[in-house]
Structure 1
Amino acid sequence: MRTDEWWDLIEQARAAAGDRADDRNLPDDPLPGALTEVLAALGPAEIAAFRLKAIEVTGTAYRYPLWNAAYLIEGGCGDDGFMDFRDGLVLLGRDVFERAVADPDSLATLPVVVRMSRGESGWIGFQSLGCPIKDAYRRVQGETGTLDAAVEAAVRGMARPAKPAGDDWDVEDDDEMRRRLPRLAALFLD
């Protein structure tokens, strides 16, 4: 699956979710169901290709600067939390995702992040992008074992980094956070 086609499917789901597409903390979050619906219109091979492209796209966000931004936004962020953060970041759309990967401090402009900085409800992360994909596959194919096997076999052949890319720094050092992520630090530290 081409990257543009993959992002078009994400945007279709976002359009179906409407003005409620940017916050994963909603009790009745419409976006996962909308993504399931969009993907269920595809064939099994296309859904599997979507899953593989999701792994590839979220892998581009496996970067220390973004992880450190997630740590600041969420008040801590371990391995699993960063996977959830990257999955949720994808659901914010291509522009937000690519801008955040290039400049994690750009996340300070998102309304959900501003709300979170005030202690109001909101969340960027998403438990697992794999869930709506599996739900769609199950709806189309009646099972998910063949999806799991295809993805597992393809992932074995992928080159994946052992550690995140980019500069790392001490996330507990407020001065360093202010230097490297000034807009986010202004929201969460000042």
Structure 2
Amino acid sequence: MDIDGFWELVERSARETENRQARVAWLKDQLCGLSAEEIVDFDVWFTVCANRACSWDMYAVFWTITGFGSSDGFEYFMNWLISLGRDAFEKVADCPDRILELPQVQRLFELSKNFSHERTTWGRDGEFRLRRVTRIRRELWPGEDYPKFELLRYVTFEPYKRATGLETDGLGDAVRARGVRSKFPFLTYHAEPDGEDWDFGDEAEFARRLPRLARHYGLG
């Protein structure tokens, strides 16, 4: 399976189903019909794509939109970005500030725009950084819209076990044998996002790195 085949399956899973649960089931069913090598291919391409977009600027986007930061949460956010399809992913993978162009993100803002509240934002080192009014209330986002998709990452596990009789650790070994290592969750694997680490609570730096997102939130 090449990268085109990977994206075709991801995008077809959205077209063929009506919700995330059904989408995961559809992908598992499709993968169960493939060879073990092709299942590993799918996992490799998923890992390659997620790694490509794993940057500190993207982490800042995740941290700002969702209102919190965590290694696991960032991984699930990346799964969600991949689930949006190739065009959406390509738009933001190398330029996270274009996240505002995605209709799915615009919908999040629409869902929460009537629920402004004051929020104190803290830097990742635990120190107070800024205080601002935000229009994001995570609890008001329906599950199908929430910008995380944990289960998408696990769709290869059962098909691989059926095809090989091996546990899921064998899948990870097979992916690494191809020379691909996941950066997620980066705290677990002692990896770091690409680029320079920076203080997300520094409004001037935020505006320099992510000007469009900064304008949306009234920063800088």
Shorter-chain TM-score bucket reads 0.7 to 0.9
Report the residue type matching 2:68 in the other structure: G
| Residue number in structure 2 paired with 1:8 | 8
Shift of 1:2: 1.7
| Residue number in structure 2 paired with 1:152 | 173
Shift of 1:156: 5.9
Measured against aligned partners, the alpha-carbon deviations of 1:25-73 in whole angstroms (never above 9, x if no partner) come to: xxx6432222223222312221122112211221111111111111111
Report the residue type matching 2:195 in the other structure: G
Gaps of 5+ in 1: 21-27
* Residues matched between the structures, number: 180
- Normalising by structure 1, we get a TM-score of 0.79
| Alpha-carbon distance in structure 2 between the residues aligned to 1:29 and 1:91 | 13
Alignment equivalent of 2:155, drawn from 132, 154, 169: 132
1:38 aligns with 2:60: no
1:102 aligns with 2:123: no
| Residue number in structure 2 paired with 1:174 | 203
1:33-112 paired onto structure 2 within 5 Å: 33-112=25-104
Report the residue type matching 1:134 in the other structure: F
Measured against aligned partners, the alpha-carbon deviations of 1:89-123 in whole angstroms (never above 9, x if no partner) come to: 11111111111112112111223323333234132
Contact 1:178–1:186 (CA<8 Å) still a contact in 2?
yes
| Alpha-carbon distance in structure 1 between the residues aligned to 2:3 and 2:164 | 27
Greater per-residue strand proportion:
2
Percent identity over the alignment? 29
Report the residue type matching 1:166 in the other structure: G
Q: Point out 4+ residue stretches in structure 1 off by more than 4 angstroms.
A: none
| Alpha-carbon distance in structure 2 between the residues aligned to 1:188 and 1:38 | 41
Contact 1:108–1:114 (CA<8 Å) still a contact in 2?
yes
Shift of 1:3: 1.4
Greater per-residue helix proportion:
1
- The root-mean-square deviation of aligned C-alpha atoms, in Å, is 2.6
Larger gyration radius, structure 1 or structure 2:
2
Contact 2:36–2:160 (CA<8 Å) still a contact in 1?
yes
| Alpha-carbon distance in structure 2 between the residues aligned to 1:178 and 1:11 | 33
- Normalising by structure 2, we get a TM-score of 0.69
Contact 2:207–2:214 (CA<8 Å) still a contact in 1?
yes
Residues 156, 40 of structure 1: CA spacing in aligned structure 2 closer, same or farther, 3 A cutoff? closer
| Alpha-carbon distance in structure 2 between the residues aligned to 1:150 and 1:134 | 7
1:168 aligns to what SS in structure 2? Answer: coil
